[in-house]
Structure 1
Amino acid sequence: MKKIALFSMGGTISAKGKNRLDLKDYTSGKITGEELLDSLPEINQIAEVHPVQIDNISSTNLKEAHWLILQREVNRYLNELDFDGAVITQGTSTLEETAYYLHLTLATDKPVVLVGAQRPSSALSTDAPLNFLNAVRVATHEQSKGRGVLVVANDQISCARDVTKVNTYRVETFQSGELGHLGWVNPNGTVEFYREPTRKHTVHSIFTQLEMNQLPRIAIVYSYAGADGDLIDYISSTDSYDGLVIAGVGAGRFSRVEERAIRHAIEKGLHVVRSSRGGQGSVVDIAAYEGLRTIAGDNLTPQKARILLMLALCMTEDYMEIQRYFYEY
């Protein structure tokens, strides 16, 4: 039987409400990873699971420091203690960000699966138990190896790079847009994969070499009709940021006033990534911004472009090298 490390961080999967109809005012952090595990004796038929409590909070309160701890501990359990895989429970609000950070930085090809819930464990029709059970199933499956960090929810298996939360309360919240899921878990418990990631990750990632105590500070600015660039000016004036991501309109575009502010930010040494607020499609170099030296964010969402820029700046400040990372990862 395979040994799986369970890293618990809180979120709705750890929450309890006032009653069984409380689907919105519940409190995270009421159930530990060990208690979640004890509530599902069926898991003992699948794997030997060892609980490790990292934190027990809402994912809205997670910080980059949690990612650094997870990176270190997951690497230790999989590479030094020889566990066969890892499952990480946390809130769904920022789950995709944790997943992508680990996707780029873990030095292992063993299965690592993130899982959360949209309904607390105390609620009618909670999705927490089956999501958790399926995450363990995926973490023990041979074909999960080498596919990078995975996200499991609603019977679906997604790539950490592609997946994003698209719905506030529905259980089918995690979607991968045009690219689709990697596979799913069938009602009989079998795990099926139909595609695999092609961009660099985990053992193929240059970022596994990094040893960090903190990450560069990167802001995200959302563009909209009438945006005047004041927020960009403020960020560049504080001297406390290393870069920023523009969640641009359309194909990663912005107003002329924002362009002026962006140009000033770059002159002050900030690195700027163009992404799109649209959620799908690629952002590429366009003639209108030739010479501006912004970085094209490809099809990464703004929040994931932020993570890649953080890691890229730990390696280099060369504009062309950073752009290469965005085409490779």
Structure 2
Amino acid sequence: MTTRLTVLATGGTIAGIAGSAIAQDYRAGEIGIDDYLEKVGGLGLAAELSGRQIANIDSAEIGPEVWNPLHAAILEALGRGDCDGVVVTHGTDTLEETAFLLDLTLPATKPVVLVGAMRPADAVGYDGLRNFANAVRVASDGDASGRGVLVVMGDRVFAARDVRKVRTRGTDAFRGFPRESIGFVTPATLEWFGAPWRQGGEALFPWYGDLPEVPILFVHVGMRADEALRLVGEATRGIVVAGVGEGNMPEAVRRELARLASSGIAVVRSSRVDEGLVDREGEDEANRFVAARALNPQKARILLQLLLASGTSDPAAIQQAFDGR
């Protein structure tokens, strides 16, 4: 039986054009989904593909105006009997954030796979066709269900929680932490490194069309306490700290953030280190701080936004949610 997949396009490098096979600069989001599916039609993929254009932009521009229709389109596709899975084409710069948000707000009953490319479609060594063929292979596999939202890049399958972009060039630009890849894929083969882990398949959070304001504070040498205050406005509900090392910061900054936390602003300590694991420390309870554990700052921000939107504001309850990710 032929697998029927819905392809939702948002743009990015995978749909980009440089105008030259060797140019460094290019324009993201130039190829429409109909043209792209025609392009991949000659690959002999063992799936029936139907496409829909959600956006056609550089992923640096991704936000609620794209996330809202994308989430709605995925839900609609997953609910159809003639859809066995969804593939989302996406720019790589913010792919990990979209994947994590969708992972937390979508059911895990059918495969949802995000895919991108590091080189535009007319470049020498374009990786988009192979990545797309690999994504179709993953989305067509019954064992992809129950694993949450997945990301396919560079012949590897990543879980949305773990995936992160670690290089700005080269096709091996993504890595997973704390788990590395959870599968290895080619257009013809797929090997999973473990069993599905999502029990029941329900979404972990409801979908919110608008999320609370949560800025990220990047800690650096010579940082002053008043830099934290510049990020706080009337609508600010939380702050994620991209701290040095294991979520550390200058003492003056710590005192200022503790004051903000005591006023009701949620404060999460994460790390600016690429593979930064942040555990709770002795002062966190008194400061009302939350430790991000293995989530990087941008993913910690998304989880905190969802928790705050759902009415969870107690630091202990927020910490429990982070511990469970």
**Which bin holds the TM-score, normalised by the shorter protein?**
over 0.9
User: Match for residue 147 of structure 1?
Assistant: 147
TM-score, normalised relative to structure 1: 0.93
Change (3 A) 1:81 1:212: farther
Report how far residue 277 of structure 1 moved: 0.9
**Counterpart Cα distance in 1 of 2:32 and 2:195:** 32
Change (3 A) 1:67 1:203: farther
Report how far residue 38 of structure 1 moved: 0.5
Report how far residue 269 of structure 1 moved: 2.2
Aligned-residue CA RMSD (Å): 1.8
User: Match for residue 206 of structure 1?
Assistant: 204
Change (3 A) 1:119 1:63: same
Structure 2 gaps, min length 5: none
Report how far residue 114 of structure 1 moved: 0.3
User: Match for residue 238 of structure 2?
Assistant: 243
Does the 8 Å CA contact 2:213/2:235 hold for their aligned counterparts? yes
User: Match for residue 96 of structure 1?
Assistant: 96
Change (3 A) 1:58 1:219: same
Identity of aligned residues (%): 37
Change (3 A) 1:292 1:218: same
Picking from 287, 291, 296, the partner of 2:291 is 296
State the SS of the aligned residue for 1:206: coil
Superposed, 1:181-220 pairs within 5 Å as 181-186=181-186, 189-196=188-195, 198=197, 203-207=201-205, 210-220=206-216
The amino acid of 2:318's aligned partner reads I
User: Match for residue 29 of structure 1?
Assistant: 29
Does the 8 Å CA contact 2:143/2:196 hold for their aligned counterparts? no
Change (3 A) 1:101 1:196: farther
**Counterpart Cα distance in 1 of 2:45 and 2:91:** 26
Superposed, 1:1-329 pairs within 5 Å as 1-22=2-23, 24-42=24-42, 45-80=45-80, 82-186=82-186, 189-196=188-195, 198=197, 203-207=201-205, 210-236=206-232, 238-315=233-310, 316-329=312-325
| Range with greater deviation from structure 2 (52-61 or 260-269) | 260-269
The amino acid of 2:108's aligned partner reads T
Change (3 A) 1:158 1:38: same
Does the 8 Å CA contact 2:268/2:291 hold for their aligned counterparts? yes
Does the 8 Å CA contact 1:5/1:50 hold for their aligned counterparts? yes
The amino acid of 2:258's aligned partner reads R
Change (3 A) 1:269 1:60: same
Does the 8 Å CA contact 1:148/1:202 hold for their aligned counterparts? no
The amino acid of 1:273's aligned partner reads V
The amino acid of 1:142's aligned partner reads G
Report how far residue 201 of structure 1 moved: 8.4
State the SS of the aligned residue for 1:5: strand
Change (3 A) 1:197 1:248: farther
Structure 1 gaps, min length 5: none
